[in-house]
Structure 1
Amino acid sequence: MGELNVATVTRLPGVLLVDSQDTVLQRLHKLLSAHDYRLYLAHDASEALQVMAREEVDLVISAAHLPQVDGATLLARLHQDYPATTRILLTGDPDLKLIAKAINEGEIYRYLSKPWDDQELLLTLRQALDHQHSERERQRLEALAQQQNRELKAVNALLEKRVAARTAELQQTADMLDLAYEELKHSYATGAELFSLLVNQRLPSDKQTNRRIIELVRAYCKVQGIDAVAQRDLAMAAALHNIGKLSWSDSMMITPADLLHHHERERYRAYPAQSESLLMTLEPVQDAARLIRHHQEHWDGTGFPDHLKGEAIPLGSRLLKLAVDFVELQCGLILERRMNSDEALVFIRKYAGRLYDPQLVEGFIQVCSVYLSDVTLGDPSVKVLSTRELQAGMVLARNLNADNGMLLLNAGKVLSMPLVDKLIAFETMEGGRYSVFVKLPQETPMRA
């Protein structure tokens, strides 16, 4: 055994030739030495394994028949210990069993017959080494890709941690800003209510409406489960809905809308839009300002300022319309005659579908009956009747006032037919039409 070719500066492929016959080895050496290979020779499996242990061998050509250990067994051992080395079997007889073992256990690249064709052997050698080079390059690139993927994953993991940390910081900042913004809105809501109290100071105590409207809106929101943001906007709208009236004269402030002169009526119809314009520069109250602008729209489209109709009117504006009219009807700011709470609710029910959202009216009446002690309309035993529907034995549930405000009968009065006839006569003489709130006795059927 010995090295017959000195390696150049550039590493040449190492080829190990294994055969027990010197003539075969010499012939193979002569054939291959003219090419750029580092050649190693071995006469048996033991020498071959020694060469493999100390040299870098890329390809092994082994005879099938060797002393002690056959070539197929050697190649199987090399496949196990040096899997990257390409293996070729050289056999002088067609021993199919030996060839099968070399293929199955040694996973040889090819087998060649003795005597071999020189050109075929050289071509096979080049192809084997080219294939080996391609496979090694593939493995190198695959390993490089895997390494780069690991590095990329590590970089991504680091970036994700940094992004997560930065996101957490930004989220914390955003949460702090949201909290500050909510506190600012709360401050605006509190300030709006305080300002509404100052606005009310221009009015006599019996015509100050804002506090009652705010409380009524909040009660409705609580019963209907309206979210906190919408509730806050509604409360601010209730507090500031009449801020556009500040430029009015004192006399106009207390005059019922139904009695305003033509030029005053035009100013009256402009106040919702004027209220909105005064508030639009304050960002936290802009949503409330939009509700204020449309709170005098009518369900049938006859309202102002934009003649919106039906569900085109913001829901908050529809609710605010109910609360404002309910309170102002009792304060004499809409009609000349002041109504009590039940009469105001009867008026609202009468104009459901014209002035008011019919889907909101009954819920509004129920809220009023729960939260306002002077409302009897929510009591199922209380009925609202005309004077001609009254019967003897019925009990007044509320005071009965004439249209001019004069008290006619006290709550709790038991009606008799002569008293009913007097009421009908007085109503005819006054030219009015009374709504009488009565409790019906269980045993008394209503007269047709």
Structure 2
Amino acid sequence: MTEAPCRPTLLLVDDEENILSALRRVLRGEPYDLLTATSGSAALDMLAGQQVDLVVSDARMPGLDGPSLLAEVQRRWPGTVRILLTGAADLDTSIRAINQGQIYRYLGKPWNDDELRFTLRQALAHQHAEREHRRLESLTLEQNQRLHELNASLEQRVVDRTAELQQTADMLDLAYDELRRSYVTATEVFSSLLAQRLPGDTQGNAQVIALVRAFAAEHQLPETDRRDLAMAAALYNLGKLTWDDQLLNRPSDLMHREERERYVRYPALGESLLMALEPLHDAGRLIRHHQERWNGTGFPDQLRGEDIPFGARLLKLAVDFVELQFGLVLQREVPRQEALQFLTRYAGRLYDPELCRLFTDFCTRSAPDLLDATAGILAVDTRRLEPGMVLARNLQADSGMLLLNAGKQLSRALIDKLIAFEASEGARYTLHIRQPEAEAAPAKEQTS
């Protein structure tokens, strides 16, 4: 008999009762058991007395503040997910929470209700995947130990047991791959939140992600490199979170000296914000070096030539190509063809000359806008969706929030949820669906 899944227990910590009341209202109807505490010490007492799956803590509280509380939670109950609520753009507080408390994420106050609910669901799903991974790993270790204890004369039993272990190892591989994919999806969700700091006509993260993914697929880069590139493309401007809106919208060639000094620090700051997340270390290295130049005049480390990681060289080409067109490099928006000419002109100085040639050739052969390519893709509204259809592109809400990622297979329940979400938002969404005929066509040509 299958046991019913336990309801996750959430602990909400804030020294202001009205904030706790607001959080309870937002989470009313969600499948969680809610606990509240008005101080860090009270929260620790609750954690010592019962199991808590996730803690949401305010950053600034008298006595034990949010980062210190979450650091203690990480030390004593490392399996409990930790989220920080901060009411101000306090970089030092956020970095301390990330480094000491190893938090899952931090959110600003006032928060967006849908974003908060979505973040909690993502955090608990991530926690479940990690717990399942540890369970499977423990199971494998146990079965290996039992295998060593078997009598050497029972050869057939050893063969049978080895087959079972292989199956378990395959399950572990699948669980680990799923965990890595969840990190990629999480970075894209966070990327869509970062983009909301920019005006709608300068939000280029999605185009940068699409460019590096398409280029990596065409040139058959290893799967691990593709994942790292996708995460780096999603978070390359993470270090700009501390900028004010005026600096965010200023083209880099118009920045004054003090602004330029802040600008050259953003790649290294982006890497430092990811240091507590081990699966993002390689992506963080690409983010750090994506503003290095082929001739050694870039930043932050003045790397030269092939000392610059390949993924960082590719990311720089994609970022410059997109940001030139959005007017974030020069004081005007540069047309697509002129942007390609700019890249070619500076090959050998700013860019790896051979990689620049491959990249510009790829962009020239692509549709005018990579995200508008329609070959093998159908644009379908929610009322025409059918179970089994597969998304060809990410689906984002009008607010910029990622709803579904590319490759997701639709079910009837998911379609109904999309229609209900449309009704609640007063919006209409068009989904880009992969045509089955597009996948079957090569096979037909071979048999003809």
TM-score (norm 1): 0.47
Task: Identify which of structures 1 and 2 has the higher relative contact order when contacts are C-alpha pairs closer than 8 Å and 6+ apart.
Answer: 2
Using structure 2 for the length normalisation, give the TM-score.
0.47
Q: Which has the larger radius of gyration?
A: 1
